[in-house]
Chains A and B, each alone.
Chain A
Amino acid sequence: MVTVMKILEIIVSPLVALIVGIFFLGLFRKMMARIQWRYGPPLIQPVIDLVRLFNQRGFSHGAVFDLGIILSLAGALVLVLFIPIGGMCPLANSGGLLVILYVMLFAPIGIALSGGEGANPNISIGISRKLILTLSYEVPFIFIILSLMSYYQTISIVEIVKAQAHYHWSLFSPLFLSGVAYFMILPAMLGIRPFDMASAPQEISSGIDVEYGGKYLAFSQIEHALSLFIVIALFVNLFLGGGNLPVFLLKMLAVFVCGVFIHASFPRFRIEQATKYLWFWPTIISFISLIVIQLIR
């Protein structure tokens, strides 16, 4: 019975992530339209786009072009299995935060390898920006994860969620500074403005996606939806106390709406401005938080 439940969870949780991620993409476009005083597309517009893309003949530049996009989508799917989604976490006992920190490598690597074969100047620029941005936000992110791990004395994300259910949210504990730092790097992790320089459509023709058409673009969109889900779900689990499925999704929605407002109100940074920002305030705050945690423990 336990095994059946586990297998069921393994099948269901990526589906939930996929549905929520794609719903977020649709909501994103609708909300942006409303903020800009437009009517906007229907909520299911991303699904229509995906249907259309799967019915188009994409161009492939070679084996690595295919392989990279498969690797990145597989990485995102695996990552979903390690994140508790409202009490549902099929691979909770096999690594926790450490695996999450590690498996987050694969989506950028896969996309970068795949795009690299496409011999396009825009792709090169996009990848360069994406990798630099990733390295930039990863520095405060690692500090945040480490302070969580040493505060709760566990590397299991399920344990962290449980501990918050007993006491209070991490955001209102000594980890407050870490939570603030996480919120500050959230736009960079989501790849929204002011940190969307890696996929700037007006500037470098959407960067990494330039050569993707047909199913390649569809895969890239799905990967994007999943990574949206993952980053927000991580924040909700680590700092907002998780909860059962409806509560969890509501919290995610709240965080996501904040993200959309940030996206709508900021212009785009240049990449070195982004790095400067991410290596300054969020890093300092998360570093102080880690020291505080070491001291009070």
Chain B
Amino acid sequence: MLIQSILIIAFGGAFLTYILGKASSALRDFLAVLISVSLTVLIFLAYGKTGEIAFASFMNLPLVLRINHLSWFFAIAIQTVTTLSVIFSLSYMKGKERVDFYYLMMLLCNSAMLGIVLSGDFVSFYIFWEIMSWSAFLLISYNRGGALYAGMKYIVMSIIGSMCMLIGIMSLYSTYGTLNIREIHDLISTASGEYLLFISILFLAAFGVKSALWPIHVWLPPAHSEAPSPFSAVLSSILIKMGIYGFVLILYVISGAALYLGLGGGSFRYILTLLAAITIIIPTFNALMQDDAKRLLAWSSIAQIGYIILGISIGTSLGLIGGLFHFFNHVAFKALLFLAVGAIEYRTGTRDLNSLGGLIKKMPVTFIAVLAGTFGLIGIPLTNGFVSKWLIYKTLILNNHPFLAFAALVGTWGTILYSYKLIHNIFLGQLPENLEHTKPAPASMKLPFIILSVVIVLFGILPGIPLKLINLITASLGFDLLNINIWGIASESGPLNIINIFAAFAVALIVVWFFFLISGKKVVISQDNSYAAGIDVPKGKYHYTVDFYNPMFRMIKPYFRDYMDEFYSQLVKALASLSDRVRRLYCGDLGVYVIYIVLFLSILVISKIGLNLW
């Protein structure tokens, strides 16, 4: 009953918001926030519940909703981010056009994602999946212009993925006669290896497109950067994670770990981990070369997805825990970073990293948010990203995958470079003259910043809270239950212990800080008062954060182009020219059409007489 009421409120609320928006904008804003908050509360109340309920039927197939730990884990992440994005939108979308439509699509997308994680059969899964894809498309192309192109790219790839999934679903139905996920799981152990491989590849194409796995990632950078910022946060932190949910669903819920590891003689897992490693390396270096803040974050999203898939696809309990925890952490810090960049764009009117700088004193709360977000992204101890990346490295090294571990570690160093570029070019360095009167972010934007920063630090210091739940999830997927306490994993295999590192860090920070306080005085001076051979650094004439890593770009630029994007562009061009040739058959001349008809008939006659085909 609770699940149904969640979905009814979600869908009903979305349309109600739209209708109300025609009457009053203040009421609409209030309703949007109210619905999101009440949904958060409802989902929170559903913690620990498990159950399945059939709510309708479609061509004699029962449509089933179900909730378990895995669904709850994804649902709470979805709803929290949407709620914060809606709160952020209050000031961000003020004064823009088609705001009713924006809220409708935002809430519709949210409801569809809730539907995906709560659905217990593949028909409703597919329906919700399509609602999500289309509402996301409409929001990505909200800004028109370049956004329309980005949206088209997204929806074309998304449709190809969905078609693959549809074929998979139909094949499953014709084989087993049911589409209930639980029943399929019970039946699939009898399937042959080849059939399982076929199904897995079909589904992974769909989920790979959505979660932007390396060769099919090209829709993501333009879509993320062109969408309105609050929706970019939703897009990057949860919408692409629906692909991750799909991965977990198909690899562990349906196949189960044992079947998955044996798939194709183990080569399936091998290729998947390899793709994940490539997904870490190439997008990381691509992110280094971006000058648009949101584009940089978009590439970074792909790279982090690589970590998550690497953790999930390695197929050990620790790896799965690490992957799922990294999913959760990525939700927190990527939503935070996109929202923060949105706030910067809202206040300064630009997100071009080359024309920003020195905003630290003007927007301190936003700076702290970005600092927390990037620290999580890099994985500094005492933030949540550390724990999850740690688990992923650990499982890679303990299971002896040195080359995958290499990809993950080099990815981390690349992450440092691009996240430092993000911080430096926006907040540190020199303040351009035209940004001298920048105001701090409004209160409705600060609230999501504070909440998400607290989440990052809290789950970094006490990782046991989410790990306990994730442990239950992995246990329900057939792995051993690990011993988890509030500080992390207590009985870890091997001499790896997070608590000591935390303690050492906290103590060292306090000692150094104390030493810093007692040793010598300091004079606080303004940011601009810096040594430049006895003269003032001319403001507004120089901007020395432009091309921050230029010496390196010169070297890597030829190698780190987006080859896949170029390949797809060529493909599209070839397809267009082929279609153009086909179109030329219809030249509009009646005589030519008569000739076509005569030719066709004569071919029929000749084949009938000469070959005697039928």
Of the listed stretches A34-42, A66-74, A248-256, chain B binds A66-74
What separation, in Å, do the CA atoms of A143 and B409 have in the docked complex? 10
Docked CA distance A132–B169 (Å): 48
- In the complex, chain A residues whose CB is within 8 Å of the CB of B513: 70, 74
Report whether B414 and A135 are in contact in the complex, using a CB–CB cutoff of 8 Å: yes
Contacts of B423 in A (CB 8 A): 113, 116
The answer to whether A138 and B522 touch across the interface, beta carbons within 8 angstroms, is no
| Minimum Cβ distance to chain B for residue A55 (Å) | 7
Name, among B414, B512, B550, the residue most crowded by chain A CB atoms within 10 Å (CB to CB). Answer: B512
Q: Note all chain A residues with C-beta closer than 8 A to B50.
A: none
Residue B416 contacts which of A92, A105, A143 (CB distance < 8 angstroms)? A105
CB distance from A70 to the nearest CB of B (A): 5
Q: Answer whether A211 and B416 are a contact pair too, CB < 8 Å, given A119-B430, A272-B554.
A: no
A64 interface hit (Cβ, 8 Å): yes
Closest residue on chain B to residue A116 by CB atoms = B428
Task: Please determine whether A142 and B509 come into contact, CB atoms closer than 8 angstroms.
Answer: no
Contact stretch, chosen from B72-80, B250-258, B490-498, B576-584: B490-498
Tally of contacts, chain A with chain B, CB under 8 A? 218
> In the bound complex, what is the Cα–Cα distance between A211 and B412 (angstroms)?
28
Decide if A93 touches B430 in the complex (CB within 8 Å). no
Contact with B along A111-136 (1 / 0, CB 8 A): 01100111111111101110110110
* B26 interface hit (Cβ, 8 Å): no
Give the distance in Å from the alpha carbon of A57 to the alpha carbon of B524 in the complex. Answer: 10
User: Which residues of B lie under 8 Å from residue A94 when comparing CB positions?
Assistant: 495-497, 499-501
The distance from the CB of B463 to the nearest CB of chain A, in whole angstroms, is 15
State whether B496 touches A124 (Cβ < 8 A): no
A138 & B413 in contact (Cβ 8 Å cutoff): yes
Would A155 and B495 be within 8 Å (CB), given that A118-B530, A131-B417 are in contact?
A: yes
Complex alpha-carbon distance, A204 and B520, angstroms: 27
Fill in one digit per residue for B519-555: 1 if any A CB lies within 8 Å of its CB, else 0: 1111111111111100001000010110011111011
- Residues of B contacting A178 in the complex (Cβ-Cβ under 8 angstroms): none
Binding site for A on B (CB under 8 A): 358, 360-361, 378-381, 390, 393-394, 397, 400, 402-403, 405-406, 409-410, 412-414, 416-417, 420, 423-424, 427-431, 494-497, 499-501, 504-505, 508-509, 511-513, 516, 519-532, 537, 542, 544-545, 548-552, 554-555
Interface of A with B (CB < 8 Å)? 53-62, 64, 66, 69-71, 73-75, 77-78, 81, 91-96, 98-99, 101-103, 105-106, 108-109, 112-113, 116-125, 127-129, 131-132, 134-135, 138-139, 142-143, 146-147, 149-150, 155-156, 205, 210-211, 214-216, 218-219, 270-272, 275-276, 290, 294
Q: Which 7 A-B pairs have the closest CB atoms?
A: A116-B428, A94-B500, A120-B530, A74-B508, A215-B520, A94-B497, A146-B402
A-B residue pairs in contact (CB < 8 Å), sample of 26: A60-B524, A61-B527, A62-B527, A74-B509, A74-B511, A74-B512, A91-B501, A95-B496, A98-B397, A105-B380, A105-B412, A105-B413, A109-B378, A112-B424, A116-B424, A121-B532, A121-B537, A150-B400, A155-B397, A155-B496, A211-B531, A215-B516, A215-B522, A272-B552, A276-B555, A290-B402
